[in-house]
Amino acid sequence: MRGNAQPGAVFGWMQRHMSRRTAVLSRLVGGNAVELSASGAWVELSDGRRMLDFGSYAVTLLGHRPEAVTNAVREQLDTQTTATRLLANPVTARAAAGLAAHFPGLPRVLFGLNGCDVVEAAVKLARLATGRPRILAVEGAYHGKSLGALALTHHPDFRRGLVGSTHAVTHLPVDDPLALDRETADDDVAALVFEPIQGENGVRALDPHVLATWCATARQRGVLIIADEIQSGLRRCGESSLARALELDVDAVLLGKPLGGGVMPLSALVCRDQLFGPMADDPALHTATFAGHPLACAAVPPTLDMLDRLAGRGAELSAAFGAGLHDLAAEAPETIRAVRGRGLLWGLQFDSAATADRAVAQLARRGLLVSPCLSARDTVRLLPPMVSSDDDLAHALSALRVTVGTSRPAVAR
């Protein structure tokens, strides 16, 4: 085994030096095995089993180790591994230009390593650009757990013990198109931040009519409009940007998760000049040592190219998998209360959080990895990669049918 890391040693290190509860959960899901390698839609375990990865929290949209991305990163590794930060770096600049071209009308780009980075940057710049203190988010929202992003995240459990330590945020009711009109009466709101589809909240799409009304009012009131598409964007749900596909007049789109091709950690804020204005005046205003790291940015051009080339396959997978999930729900209405989703982001709502937790463990034993929803514990997310085969979909649906009791057992490969 690589690095002489036997599973027992791995779990021991986790218990002593990381989170004991995480170690217990990982042991349960992996059946006392650990992950060793991955390729495409599959992960290989230390005991020789393989598991189909429809989880990974939306990172592996292109699967594991897509060749074009790994080749680009490997080439950069042999050329220059980090940036001086004082000299111009062509890899970072090319990645920024590629993203701006991918999102016409949003010419400015700021890189981060994860979703929280760009949420924090967007909120900071919005407050500075407008001179206003308050941010509007949406009930059910999840924008991360760093202290600034946490204020926008709606679920109170994540803020336990931290009351009073976050900035001023008001959460709008999801079904009230006039809520933003009321909240902006005092001209103290800098920005509206929303997810077109709330992934952690059970894969719930916001009402396009409500969003359109909010955005129109925000534009009239001088409120900047920020679409958090860290999970749903970059063709995870079919479009490069759902907000722009809905013809919402947004000032920024937040990207992450698959942006590094499933190979490198990377996120980005792409925005208009107005939001970026404070950074244009003072580039030292918001910096991070590894933001725009050349190894990560080398992944951007091949990732964007692959996402566009595989968009048609993504649509085929979406139609087939969505139909299969709806058939499954019809077969087991007592267990599955709802199916929600779009593109390659799907949520199965079970009859309880306990049932959903059991389903995650049972699916893993049957060779399928999925992602729980952090803010809606009765719902399990299924996130197929674009590189999934028809056989992969069949395996996933078979494992689901056995788990909800509508078929005979499936066997992990």
| pLDDT tens, residue by residue, 170-182 | 999 999 999 999 9
- Which pLDDT score, from 0 to 100, does residue 29 have? 92
Listed residue (252, 282, 255) closest to 267, CA to CA: 255
pLDDT in tens, 348-377: 999 999 999 999 999 999 999 999 999 999
**Whether pTM exceeds 0.75:** yes
pLDDT in tens, 158-169: 888 887 666 799
DSSP 238: S
* Residues 205 and 313: beta-carbon distance below 8 Å: no
| Structure-block tokens of residue 95 | 């990645």
Given the candidates 3.90.1150.10, 3.55.40.20, 3.40.50.1460, 3.90.380.10, the CATH classification of the domain at 9-62+310-403 is 3.90.1150.10
pLDDT in tens, 90-130: 999 999 999 999 999 999 999 999 999 999 999 999 999 99
* Residues 325 and 382: beta-carbon distance below 8 Å: yes
- Which pLDDT score, from 0 to 100, does residue 273 have? 98
| Structure-block tokens of residue 400 | 């689901």
Measured distance CA(118)–CA(113) in Å, rounded: 8
What CATH class is the domain 67-308? alpha beta
- Which pLDDT score, from 0 to 100, does residue 380 have? 98
- Which pLDDT score, from 0 to 100, does residue 165 have? 60
pLDDT for 410 beyond 50? no
Mean pLDDT along residues 38-62: 97
Listed residue (29, 229, 248) closest to 122, CA to CA: 229
* Percentage of residues in the chain having pLDDT higher than 70: 96
- Which pLDDT score, from 0 to 100, does residue 4 have? 52
Mean pLDDT along residues 150-164: 86
- Mapped onto helix, strand or coil, the DSSP state of residue 55 is coil
Which residue's entry shows tokens 């509508």? 406
* Residues 116 and 265: beta-carbon distance below 8 Å: no
Domain ranges in the chain with CATH number 3.90.1150.10: 9-62+310-403
pLDDT for 335 beyond 50? yes
Domain ranges in the chain with CATH number 3.40.640.10: 67-308
Measured distance CA(297)–CA(275) in Å, rounded: 22
- Which pLDDT score, from 0 to 100, does residue 374 have? 92
DSSP assignment string, 144-212:
-SSHHHHTT---GGGGTT-TTSS--EEEEPTT-TTHHHHHTTTS-EEEEEE-SEETTTTSEEPPHHHHH
pLDDT for 14 beyond 50? yes
